[in-house]
Structure 1
Amino acid sequence: MKSSQVKWAVLAVVVVLAATVGVILGTSGNRDDSAALGPVTLTTTVQPSEDIYAKPTETAPTTTSAVPGTSTAPSSESPSSAAGSESPASSAPVDASGRKATNVPMTKLAPGEKAPQFVIFSFDGVGSSAKMREFLDAAAPNDARFTGFLTGLYVIDDSHADAYQGPGADRGASEVGFGGDQAEVVQRVKDLNEAYLAGNEIGTHYNGHFCGLGENWSTAEWNDELDQFFDFLTNWKTIDGITDAPDLVFPASEVKGGRTQCLVGQLDQLEPAWQKHGMLYDSSMPAPRDGIFWPEKLDSGIWEFYMPQVYSAGLGGKVTAMDYNFWVKFNGAQKGDFAAELTPKVLDTYRFMYDQAYNGNRAPVLIANHFNDWAGNAFNPATAEFMRETCGKPDTYCATYSDVIAWMELQDPAVLQDLQDQGSVAYQP
């Protein structure tokens, strides 16, 4: 199909979905803990209705119930957890700052040796204290790690919205709101500190979540957006007028990668901005081919962890491996409580992705999620259950992007190239 035909076909999909589901662009009055909404498939993007951005109720999570309609036992192709082995969390060392050291064995592979199986959990937005607690608790038993892509506006309280002006937008405007009141901002900082000290990674989800505008931002505009993100991260207490609160325990220089809003942006405009801000990786770009495969380094030196297109038996075909895209694939992102039907389909898709990679090319499996209650909280239980059942398996490390990069860069170039030269997995039954 010619590129022009693809463009019009994609446009037609967006129009049909918008008409069917009634999706409209979110407004600045809605605060989002769930953040970026990616494309349905390939580069098709559907904007959410306003109340999809509603914040989850800030209550302590209850005991996690079993995922409906699915077994928690590993599949016949998956490795079982080692019986009687010491819990990784019990012996994890800490560095001089008090932060847990990496959970990835930094060893070189011999030629032809199987790579470890990495699983990278990431969450866009990371604004909900309750959801942060839920995943810190799910990660703890197996010393699993995750990456939180922080929306910069979530450390700016609502009364100081005019501190932000998104490129091409009005001052004080945001499609995902701001950080709430000052008490909520301070609690969020405490959550981020706890997550970081537990060995997790904080990346950027940029600021205002402008999907339509951001799609065509220039390098200068991406630089502006990132300049503001790092300013907020460094000077949030001054901007908010807060004096009695802890500092962030990690410097802004620790932010080494991120995910753009709605997976938008042109590489030739983004790469110079990433270089200017000392970034090492990105996890935004739609994959150039189907399936799960090893990350590759762009000409700019940035590692690109492409958002994969995977097969899902429960969802009836290929889909971008992100919770919002699963929802769109399931029913066009219709509102309602669909957890009983949808949650097992998502969990089984994650299991399929892992099985295919573990028994195939051992490429990192990306679990891209949000702190959300979409579709009756259909996604978080699947993600938490997958984290609990998978991260303790042999030869499996639930790690951060930066730690996986450190492992890859430790390898002999020829060995790493052999990994990257393998074919894709998980794109067909």
Structure 2
Amino acid sequence: MKRWGWLTTGVALALALVLVMTLGPNKDAGTQAEAGPLPMAPRLPAPKDAGPTPTVPAPTQQQLQKQPWMHKLAPGEKPPQFVLFSFDGAVSKQHWDKVLPIAKEKNAHVTGLLSGVYMLADLDKMQYQPPAGLKRGVSDIDFGGTRQDITNRIGYLNQVIADGHEIGTHYNGHFCSGGTQPSVDKWDNAAWNAELDQFKMIVDKARAAGLNLPEGAVRGGRTPCLEGNWGQAFPAMAAHGLVYDTSKVALGVQWPTVQNGLYEFPMPEVRVPALGKQVVMMDFNLWYSLNGAKEQPERAPDFTQIVFDTYKSVHQAALNGNRAPIVVGNHFNEWNGSAFSSAMELFLEYVCDKPETVCATYTEVIQWMQLQDPAVLDQLRRMPAARNW
């Protein structure tokens, strides 16, 4: 059964088609890069094969000194309440300029999930060869603007990286089921391998132009529209050195598990207290649950408060429950008078220095898990999902 928060699949796909038509390749490149691509949320069965447990480099001595929570739990000690802020698209300077100062003040780290085509200038779009027989230079989101735009983008992403934040992948052309076909939910293993090859090519090109992203630093990502045949996609991810995915949807906040050789950090489906409805905790899904994703900027303060209150209730439920990492999924956007970006920024400022709470990257959480006894992790995973009833 596929779900988009509380939406049925039919409604979700119909809306996705409208959104692709509205925000697709004919939209101004700079504006599209600001907003980022849109999500869906099909909940698919988990693969039965766990596969080998992936690993990341151990924390450095500098990390251990700066992050006192990065240690093996003592008997009876509770884990930190991790909060994982992650941003699809991840190239808006306007929004990074808001996030970075808050994160620095609160000693927080976040994750930007980069859409590869945003690092290719419009004039260079033919360098991108989409998979699955799609035409060269085709993308359902816009390319990166001028070559000067790319140079500027490399400059401020270098600041993101220097501040200790993580860069992951949101793949490239964002081919969702409502747009150009064949979409990612139909791709086979060869197509996923080809898309990841293209992402590496684009990142290597950006690195040659000055992007200070070390080799091997991209360790995971989120698929376009949260879609994919995981049995085909996950082996390609693992073959390209990825160790985590954060595309699937789970009811409540749950601990990551290893599936087909990758850690899966699921996006939680949570209750919006003001509505009494279950919704995937992604900004767009929350917007749709509130007013059908209509632009009503005059309601921005109310929407911001509702989403902020939802985030706080989820944090409290996890903190008092299983302490599973909370995935906060967002785009850098100005939807509905920036209601959802404002809610995210308020929550970032509110939660990251709360007692026993750590705002971390996916890699940092995996590093922490690697320090724990496997039996302790198994016990945590057996705890009931945290739900903000």
Shared topology, TM-score over 0.5? yes
Alignment equivalent of 2:190, drawn from 220, 234, 245: 220
In structure 1, the partner of 2:102 is 138
In structure 1, the partner of 2:205 is 235
Question: Any idea what SS the aligned residue of 2:212 has?
Answer: coil
Aligned counterparts of 2:42 and 2:230: Cα–Cα separation in 1: 19
In structure 2, the partner of 1:64 is none
Q: CA deviation at 1:104?
A: 6.0
**Structure 2: gaps of 5 or more residues:** 45-59, 178-182
Q: CA deviation at 1:395?
A: 1.2
Larger C-alpha radius of gyration, 1 or 2?
A: 1
Superposed structure 1 runs of 4+ greater than 4 Å apart: 15-19, 40-43, 99-102
Q: CA deviation at 1:172?
A: 1.3
Correspondences of 1:19-38 after superposition (within 5 Å): 23-25=19-21, 26-30=23-27, 31=29, 32-33=32-33, 34-38=35-39
2:130 aligned with 1:163: no
Identity over the aligned pairs, expressed in percent? 41
Correspondences of 1:5-404 after superposition (within 5 Å): 10-14=8-12, 17=15, 23-25=19-21, 26-30=23-27, 31=29, 32-33=32-33, 34-39=35-40, 42=43, 103=67, 105-167=69-131, 168-212=133-177, 213-236=183-206, 247-287=210-250, 290-298=251-259, 300-337=260-297, 338-404=299-365
Aligned counterparts of 1:380 and 1:357: Cα–Cα separation in 2: 22
**Structure 1: gaps of 5 or more residues:** 44-92, 239-244
Aligned counterparts of 2:86 and 2:354: Cα–Cα separation in 1: 19
TM-score normalised according to structure 1 size: 0.78
| Residues 258-303 of structure 1, C-alpha deviations (whole Å, 9 max, x = no match) | 001100101100111011100110000122xx111111111x3210
- Quickly say closer, same or farther: Cα 1:113–1:233, change in 2 above 3 A: same
Aligned counterparts of 1:116 and 1:202: Cα–Cα separation in 2: 23
In structure 2, the partner of 1:65 is none
State the one-letter code of the partner of 1:215.
D
- Quickly say closer, same or farther: Cα 1:29–1:118, change in 2 above 3 A: same
State the one-letter code of the partner of 2:36.
A
Aligned counterparts of 1:297 and 1:344: Cα–Cα separation in 2: 35
Q: CA deviation at 1:189?
A: 0.8
In structure 2, the partner of 1:77 is none
CA RMSD between the two structures: 2.5
Question: Any idea what SS the aligned residue of 1:211 has?
Answer: coil
Q: Note if contact 2:248-2:267 (Cα within 8 Å) is conserved in structure 1.
A: yes
Alignment equivalent of 1:413, drawn from 371, 374, 380: 374
Aligned counterparts of 2:294 and 2:303: Cα–Cα separation in 1: 12
Q: CA deviation at 1:123?
A: 0.4
Q: CA deviation at 1:215?
A: 1.1
State the one-letter code of the partner of 2:315.
Y
- Quickly say closer, same or farther: Cα 1:36–1:303, change in 2 above 3 A: farther
Q: Note if contact 2:311-2:347 (Cα within 8 Å) is conserved in structure 1.
A: yes
Aligned counterparts of 1:156 and 1:249: Cα–Cα separation in 2: 16
- Quickly say closer, same or farther: Cα 1:15–1:191, change in 2 above 3 A: closer
Question: Any idea what SS the aligned residue of 2:348 has?
Answer: helix
Aligned counterparts of 1:100 and 1:372: Cα–Cα separation in 2: 34
TM-score normalised according to structure 2 size: 0.86
Say which is worse superposed, 99-108 or 155-164, in terms of deviation. Answer: 99-108
Q: Note if contact 1:351-1:386 (Cα within 8 Å) is conserved in structure 2.
A: yes
Aligned counterparts of 2:230 and 2:65: Cα–Cα separation in 1: 32
State the one-letter code of the partner of 1:193.
N
